[in-house]
Structure formats: C-alpha cells, structure tokens
Structure 1
Amino acid sequence: MFSLPTIMAGAWFINSVVILLVVCFFMFHSGIYILECISKYGAGTNYFFISKELLPRWACYIANMALIFVLYILIYAYISAAGSVIKEAAAIYGYNINLRLIFIIFTLILGASIWWSGVGASRLTSLFLFIKIILFILAFSGLFFIVKTDLLLTSPVEGGQTALLPFVFIIIPYAITSFGYHGNVCSLYKLYHENERKVVKSCVIGCVLALVLYFLWIMGTMGNLPRAEFLTIINKGGNLDAFIESLYAVLNSKNIATFLLWFSISAVFCSFLGVAIGLFDYILASLNFKDNPSGRMKSALLCFLPPLILCMLFPNGFLIAIAYAGMAACIWAIICPAVMALKVRERFPDSRFKVWGGKGLIYAVIAFGVVGIICQLLAQFNLLPIYR
C-alpha cells in the first residue's frame, strides 16, 4: 500500500487507477483458481499439497520456493518500513534513535509475541488492525477536504495521459503484491466448511475493499503532493519516512500529519505480524519442529534472523523488496494456480465448481503473470521507463 503512490507518480492518477483495476481482476481470478483446485481434494488441503499433486516436481519446488521468498522479502520490507517511520516519529518528539537499533528492537518485540503464542500474536494483529482503521478515518477525513482535483485529473506533462503511459508497466509488480491474498484461500475453504460460494464472496469483498482503500490512498496523496515532489521521495530511497516528510511540508494541519504518521506505524505493525505468523507456522510445520518453547525458538530464529540481517546491511530497501515480492508472486500466485486449474480440469472433467471464462481466461491469467515478471526484469536492467 505505502509503495503505491511513489511508484505510481510516473503514470499519475488516472493511468494508475486503470492499472489497479486490471491487476485486481487478474489477482482475484488467480486466487479463485486455487479454490477450484483445493475443492477437489477437500478441506485441510494446503498449497504445497495441490502443487505436488498437479505440477511436475520441479515446478512444485519452484512454486513453493517463490512462496517462501515472498514471505521473507515482505518481512524484510516491513522491518525496513517500520524502522523509517518509528525513527521519524521519534524525531518529532525530540529523540534521535539509531535506525539499526530500531530494527533490532522492533523484530525482537513482535517476534517474541509470535514465539510466545500464535493466538496472542493474532489478537495483537487484530488490535493493530482496529487502531489502523481508526487512524485511517482520522487522517484521511482531513486529507480529502484539501485534495486538489486539478492535481489529480490534469496531466502534469505535455501530451496528456498518453505521454504518461510508458510509466504504467513499472506499477504492475507492486500492484500484484498489494492484492496478494492467495495464501488465505485454503484457510477460508476450511473455515467455510467447503462452501465455495462463501469463499468466492469473501474474496470478492476483500478485493473490492482493498481496491477502494488503495484508490482513497492515492487520491489523498496525489491530490496533495505535486508530481515533482515524488522525485524527492524517490531520491531518498522511497521509504516511508521520506514520504511522510513530504506530506508534512504541504499539509497545513499538524493533526492530520500526526494521524497519518501513526496510521503508517500501525499499518506496518499489522502487515508485519500477518506475514510473519504465516512464515513462522510454515517453518514450524515443514521442518517438523515441536510446538514447544524450544521448537518455536528454532522456527523464530529461521523466520526473523535472515530478514533482520538483510535490513542491517541494506536499511532502505522497502521499494525494491516490494518489487521482487511482486515478481515472485507472479510465479506462485498467478502462473502456477492457472496451470494447476488446467490440470485439475483434465483430472476432474465433471467437477461441479469451475471458475468461469474457460481456457481463454486461464491463458490470459498466465500471460499476465509473465508480463509481471518481464516488467520487473526490464526494470532491473534499466530497460523500463521509471520516474526518477
């Protein structure tokens, strides 16, 4: 979410909204393909099982390695983001705290909550989610009153919206990460007692809510920050502290700026816990560690040490990490589910639950995943237009 306005600055508001709609469409359907596959094997089935059943062994390993990579790289991104916003908050109150020390303390405290109790960590996540919603309302109710529509709807360059089209491709990997709900599909199928209709409804509601939230977020930010101001943010590494500093400079209300800062902190805490709990449980189960203090400590060390070390070495990697997570998500969350849907229809031709669209939509989803990978690879080699 926090990377979107910065990475969308090149294409600007109208083009970015169109890309969000396209990405949301394909990400929704790729997630529902996972539902179609697990519905043939029953509740309790996980992603690893269906990939092992429906994909060649090499493809199964690639898919699951991509899944693990996404979880690790997102934890790294959230530690990096948390460090930047906490440092910014401390500076406002007159404290200068070492960034790497913040990384360590943040990881130790939230990591310890997950090690201590999965239920406790889930409740902590719910608490941060509640705080995030309250702060979102407080911050954005003020932001919307001062949105400048001419900033949003008028092209910031000669040639109109068409001149900004080359910048839309870099958005795709980041937007893909923003709609990554796929790891929850198996749990939802079990939660709703194998009722596919309820799972689909839940996924529709989730995707629409995310789409609305992102729309409000980029409208509130792009409607207050001129396009040129985003160059300053990008040149500072694109981390959250630089983004919030720029908003401080243009907002006349100290209260709105403060609410926005604390909203950012609560959102990062919530996102970190959500991803970290998933990776922690994955490691605990896949390596057969006992669910006791010793086994959970082993899982915690494997879960948190690698991204923490990466943060100590590369503290400002939030934007880059989100892009790589998007590229890996193209493999495990887009291409592989679509391929598995083809295989499961061959194996169960008379199945009662099938995603609409036939093979045409499946191939379109696969093509979209390939486009996402190509976009990130081109960006990596500086072959894609990037606003900077």
Structure 2
Amino acid sequence: MANSKFIGGILLIVGTSIGGGMLALPVSTAEVGFTNSIFFLILCWLIMTVGALLILEVNLRLPAGSNMVSMAKTTLGLPGQVIAWIAYLLLLYTLLAAYISGGSDVLNGLLQKANFNLPSWSTSLTFTLIFSLVVYGGIRSVDYVNRGLMFGKLGVYLLLVVIISPHVQLTSLSGGSVKAVTGSLMVLITSFGFASIVPSLREYFHDDVHSLRKVILLGSLIPLTCYILWDAVIMGVVQREGDNGLIALMSNEHATSGLTNALSTAVNSQWITGFFSFFTSICMVTAFLGVSIGLFDFLADGLALKKTGLQGKSTLALTFLPPLAVVLFNPGIYLHALSYAGICCVVLLLLLPALMAWRARRIDPASSIWVVPGGNLSLTLVILSAIFLLTIAI
C-alpha cells in the first residue's frame, strides 16, 4: 500500500509537469542548442524543485488543507494573499490560452489531413466547446478521460523516442548560442511548474516529510529526463535552420502543426508522423483538462458559486471565455502564453515560497520543520534568482 501511494505521488508530479508545454521545448531551445539546453534544463529543474520544497516546508507549518492563497495570507498577510490570488489566476488563464491555441492548431492539422479547411477561430471554438463539456461534468469525468489519456501519452512517448532515435544525426545536436536562452527560460520554468500540487500531496501522505521529500525529488527527475530525451530526438532529426527549421517555428503561428510537418519531412515515415500527431493531440487535451478543472474549481470556491445549474454555467463561462477571447484575437499565442505563464510560475512557485518560508521561520524559529537546508542564505539565493528571472523576462 505504501509503495502504491509512493508511486502514485510520483505519477501526480509527472502528470502535472509533462503536458502541452513539452511540445514547445525543442522549438523554444532550438537556437540555444541541445548541449546548452541540457544545462539550463537542469538549472531550471533545480531551482523549481527547491521552490517546491519551500512550499512543502511552509505548508507543513500550517494546518492540513492550506492552499497557496491561504498560505500567503497566513505568512505575508493581505498583500501576500492578493499577490498569490492574482498570480494563480493569471497562471491558469495564460496556460489555458496556450493550450486552446495549441489544441486548435493540432485539431486544424488533423482536419486538413481529412481535406477540411476551417479558420482558426472555428477550430479554437470547437476544441474549447468539446472539452469544456467534460470539465462541466466534474472531476470524476475529467479523471476518467485523463486517466486513459495519461497511459496513452506515456506509452506513445516511449514508442516515439525508440522509433525516432535511429534517425538522429549527432552533428545536429552540436552548436547553439547561450545568449539565446533569455527567450526560452520562461518556457523551461513553466515545464517544471508542478509545485502547485504540493499542498495536496502533503494531505495524501499525511505529513510524512521523508516520503514527501523523496516523492518531490524523484517525481521531478522523471520530467527532466523525459525533456532531455525529447529534445535529443527532435533536435537531432529536425533541422535547426531553414524555412521549416526549429528556429523558424518560433515565429510561426502554427508552431505545433509546423513541428509535426517538419518531423514528417525529416523522417519520411507515415507511422512516425501518425504517432507524433496522436501524441501532440493527447498532450494538449490532458494539459487542457488539468488546467481547466483547476481553474473551474478555483473560481467556484473563490466566488462562492455552485458547480451545477445556472451558477455552474456562469463559472464555466468565466473559466473559458477570457482565454478563448485572447486566442480568437491572437491565434498564434501558444509559445508566448507559455512564456507569460513562466513569469507567473516564478512569482507564485519561487518568489512567494521563499518569502513565505523566511516569514514562517521568523515567526517560529524553534520549529523543527526545515525541509530546505542552508538557512537564510538559501532563501536569499532563491529570492535573488527569482528577481533575476523576472528581470530577464520583463
């Protein structure tokens, strides 16, 4: 039973991390180069994992059931609560806009293969309408759909890595510019934005600090490994330069379908192209469902609205209309939205946790709950890192 819970906790982190954002990694880091991107992936993994451990430390000092907003209120007062509320709301909205844009692009690509040509606004609306109905059905319907898709996603991911690997050209993995990382750092940060589920994990493991620390460390290492392998097979096969290269896709409104087409041209295999299209579809849907149910519940709880009836429909409209409107006016916002989400991640999952931990340690210095070693020095390094990242992004 304990092993089952341990594996379940790891899979929760993996499922939260690996989503639609993974598709953007080879494109956003193309100019940086593969070898350089490994260094920055490890760096972002390290700093975001420390942020997750700080959230765990603060959460363990408070009653079980405390979420990010209530944690900020208790430790930092009303200003902290307001900042956390706004950052959390913006994070979910920007992620939802990214996944509507990416999902619409994937749907458009699939329809074009069936000789159906629809405008971007039409596919954005269709994608949102179909899967918003699943969200309206509640967490149980999302869980059933997501559970099946998650197994499919992991299976197809492993299959793609295996069958694409023979096509990798090692020479394509060399080169790149370290200076170009400023344009991709926020996408990398977003890819490790799993820390929002740490309060839920704390309840799941009944305050078992040793197990929680291990779950966070091991659970975050799996996405890191998956990202490095994914970058290797995509960047080793799809050319970096040229009209259909990875760098050109950075400014392409249809980055996701463009990546599918570029891979299809590079490997010239209908099987690989088919599996890749299936994989991108699953990634977008699972990411969309996960963020949507989180935002739907957050709005319902925050505004004291019921999740059914007229109030449920109002909550559904508040969940999907703002990001849908953004995508309708800017259909190619996928990569940009992921970058904006990265800014919210830095504030919510890095800067605030460090400030909350600093305040919590000041309030109760005798507490034995110190998940992150290093005292004030480690907190200062995290705060300075967060400010540095925000300075680069803004």
1:92-171 map, 5 Å: 92-152=113-173, 154-155=174-175, 164-171=177-184
Using the TM superposition, give the Cα deviation of residue 292 of structure 1 relative to its aligned residue in structure 2, in angstroms. 2.9
Using the TM superposition, give the Cα deviation of residue 309 of structure 1 relative to its aligned residue in structure 2, in angstroms. 1.1
Q: Which residue of 2 is the match for residue 191 of structure 1? A: 204
Q: How far, CA to CA, are the matches of 1:113 and 1:252 in structure 2?
A: 36
Q: Name the aligned partner's letter for residue 85 of structure 1.
A: V
Q: Which residue of 2 is the match for residue 322 of structure 1? A: 338
* 1:210 maps to which of 210, 223, 235: 223
Per-residue CA deviation, residues 240-296 of structure 1 (Å, 9 max, x unaligned), is 011111111111211011101110000110011111111111011111112433332
CA contact (8 A) 1:139 1:257 kept: no
TM-score of the pair, normalised by structure 2: 0.91
Identity score, percent: 27
Q: Which residue of 1 is the match for residue 80 of structure 2? A: 59
Q: How far, CA to CA, are the matches of 1:215 and 1:101 in structure 2?
A: 35
1:244-283 map, 5 Å: 244-283=260-299
Q: Name the aligned partner's letter for residue 264 of structure 1.
A: T
Unaligned runs of 5+ in 2: 1-21
1:274-313 map, 5 Å: 274-313=290-329
Q: Which residue of 2 is the match for residue 75 of structure 1? A: 96
Q: How far, CA to CA, are the matches of 1:244 and 1:174 in structure 2?
A: 19
Could you say if the C-alpha distance between residues 231 and 21 of structure 1 is closer, same or farther in structure 2, counting changes exceeding 3 Å?
closer
Using the TM superposition, give the Cα deviation of residue 77 of structure 1 relative to its aligned residue in structure 2, in angstroms. 0.3
| More deviation, 250-259/16-25 | 250-259
CA contact (8 A) 2:307 2:315 kept: no
Whether 2:377 is the aligned partner of 1:360: answer yes
CA contact (8 A) 1:138 1:256 kept: no
| More deviation, 18-27/168-177 | 168-177
CA contact (8 A) 2:305 2:312 kept: yes
Q: Name the aligned partner's letter for residue 197 of structure 1.
A: H
Q: How far, CA to CA, are the matches of 1:359 and 1:249 in structure 2?
A: 53
Using the TM superposition, give the Cα deviation of residue 201 of structure 1 relative to its aligned residue in structure 2, in angstroms. 1.8
Q: Which residue of 2 is the match for residue 350 of structure 1? A: 366
Count, aligned residues: 369
TM-score of the pair, normalised by structure 1: 0.92
Q: How far, CA to CA, are the matches of 2:68 and 2:78 in structure 1?
A: 14
Using the TM superposition, give the Cα deviation of residue 238 of structure 1 relative to its aligned residue in structure 2, in angstroms. 5.9
* C-alpha RMSD over aligned residues: 1.4
SS of the residue aligned with 2:207? coil
* 2:54 maps to which of 16, 19, 33: 33
Q: How far, CA to CA, are the matches of 1:239 and 1:230 in structure 2?
A: 9
CA contact (8 A) 1:173 1:373 kept: no
